[in-house]
Amino acid sequence: MKTERTHKRRWLAWLIIGLLAYGLFLISLLPAGLVWEQVRERGMTPVGVELHGISGTLWNGGAGQLHMPGGLVLSDLRWRVTPGSLFTARLGWDLQATPPGGRAAGHLALGVSTIQFRDVRGDLPATLAITPFLTWPVSLDGRLVLDLSHYRADYQGHVREARGVLGWIDAAAGLPEALPLGDLRAEIIDDGEGGLRLDVRDQGGPLIAEGVVQLSVAGVYQVDGVAGTRDDAHPNIAQALRMIGNPGRDGRVSVRISGSL
């Protein structure tokens, strides 16, 4: 009798899973534009994210533009459901986008209360990603490379988990011309309070940089660190740093910047 009850429970469990998967499958066939409007009206879309030029279904579709927080725009977004996600009470998609001069891809999963990204990899011009956040017409060069292994947040934007690496390869910045700074690297983690923390270090180039960037769920950022120059740095870099503060005995300048996106 015990074995028979166990079999019945297993059969019932698989039946429920199958019905949930079938229900999610039917949902995935709905027009993507209609679904986006409905979830946006209910406040279930990620904060600061907008889609334009939506076509296809939730199963297989795309959008002409994806607008991200801060003004970053990715074009030619495509998605396709990962069938295995239908058995996890989530809807999951493989994503691809082609920003001008770059590429981005990753996996997105939507749950009842959280949104999750996995294996997100991107490579795009630094000027495309950074310029929307600047208030000065600074010239930029180099490429931003993102390897985000895991990111999970609720629909209000509170980050629950985050792990990844952001690199600025052949970084260059300046006014009126971009001056070489070398490679910069930032470890991305959650700060335990709903925000993000980036631990920034240079990789031995002309610019010495070490610090922490905190980004709150409200979009408020705080930068704390030190910066300096090595012997091969352009003199204008040291001059620009002196505009931030007076160098210490080690020749480095304390950097403290705060604001909101």
For residues 154 and 165, give the distance between their C-alpha atoms in angstroms, rounded to a whole number: 21
Amino acid identity, position 235: P
- Has residue 169 been placed in a domain? yes
- Has residue 124 been placed in a domain? yes
Q: Which domain holds residue 143?
A: 113-260
Closest Cα partner for 93 from 74, 118, 68? 118
- Has residue 223 been placed in a domain? yes
What is this structure's pTM?
0.81
Q: Count the domains in the chain.
A: 1
- Has residue 67 been placed in a domain? no
CB 213 within 8 A of CB 200: yes
- Has residue 24 been placed in a domain? no
Helix intervals (H) in 194-250: 235-242
- Has residue 151 been placed in a domain? yes
Q: Each residue of 7-58: pLDDT tens digit?
A: 556 655 555 555 455 455 545 556 777 777 877 777 767 667 888 888 888 7
Query: How many Å separate Cα 73 from the centre of its chain?
Result: 12
Closest Cα partner for 199 from 190, 216, 186? 186
- Has residue 131 been placed in a domain? yes
CB 229 within 8 A of CB 191: no
Amino acid identity, position 204: G
Residues 6+ apart with CB under 8 A from 203: 182, 183, 184, 185
Q: Each residue of 108-130: pLDDT tens digit?
A: 988 878 889 999 999 999 998 88
